[in-house]
Amino acid sequence: MSFSLCNCIVDDTQKELAQHGTPFFPIACYHDDWSKESVPWHWHEELEAVIVSEGSCIVAFGNQKYEIHAGDGFFINSEILHGCWDHNQSSCRFHSMVFHPNLVGGNLESVFYQNYIFPLIKDLSLEGIYLKSEVPWQKEALDLLEQTWNSCVHTPFGYEVKVRNYLSDFMLLIQQNTSNSVASPNTRSLHNRQRIKIMLQYIHSHYSDPINIGLIARSASISESECLRCFRKTIDMTPIQYVRQYRIEQAAKLLTTTEYSVSTIAEQCGFSDLSYFTKTFRELTGLPPLQYRMKEC
């Protein structure tokens, strides 16, 4: 089975565009060092399970944020906005398995999907789980993930069956130890998820233009105060902080993939003041633009 470095490419709503695995075996395994590049806010239809093998990281999903250390891990439910970062330059390394619910659930009419997978992915209260090795059932879940990873690494005869079996047991553990029924719809939670996706899409489409909180709020037809609350609740930063971060991320990509001048890149990324761009770039990346270009190219 092929392995990939984590390279998160998203659309304007932050939905990840990569295909994970194949239609015949819908799982992909990733390994990388989060100190080199963080995983930006994104979401996907697939389920995701991660074991931290070295160092520590910060993972955020819904309105929760956790510090995850080596030996522990986490689970992210389907269509949940999440992001991951290295913690204190610990050179965090991880094993990530991203798999479609159909891998363990089969077709939508099967008893496996209807009784075990559908209730879990539609549980609005279950956005993700911090898996701690000190909790017995979570340790068992982490062991199943490690067995899944090792099967994918060594690909013995029949490894696809073993992978499906391990992940089926993993999902059963998740369901047994969380809600056993579909949670009643939480209107505010649903609205927050939809609003944040709409506002992120607006930012990603207009980041090179003058932008303010009023314009961002208007894109989702909400007040500025509700916009602030939604960003704080969902991704733990203000809209303007996110705009600044996103602009610098786009500038960093242009610095390493084009020969545009720093001033041109600054202008294309919404900075009218070159000195402010340089100061902000250094603040968020640790390097001035030209030094960043030389280091990464």
Res 151: pLDDT = 94
Structure tokens belonging to residue 42:
């994104």
Q: What is the pLDDT of residues 258-267, one digit of tens each?
A: 999 999 999 9
Q: What six digits make up the tokens of 43?
A: 């979401």
Confidence of residue 183 (pLDDT cuts 50, 70, 90): very low
- Residue 124: CA count within 13 A, CB half-sphere: 11
Do 244 and 280 meet the contact criterion of CB atoms below 8 Å apart? yes
Query: If you search the block for the tokens 């295909």, which residue do you land on?
Result: 19
The SS3 call for residue 215 is helix
Mean pLDDT of 70-84: 91
Cβ contact 42:15 at 8 Å: yes
Is the pLDDT confidence value at 139 over 70? yes
pLDDT of residue 3: 47
Query: What band does 62 get if pLDDT is binned at 50, 70 and 90?
Result: confident
Q: Determine phi and psi for 173, rounding to 5 degrees.
A: -60, -40
What confidence category does residue 192 fall into, taking pLDDT thresholds of 50, 70 and 90? confident
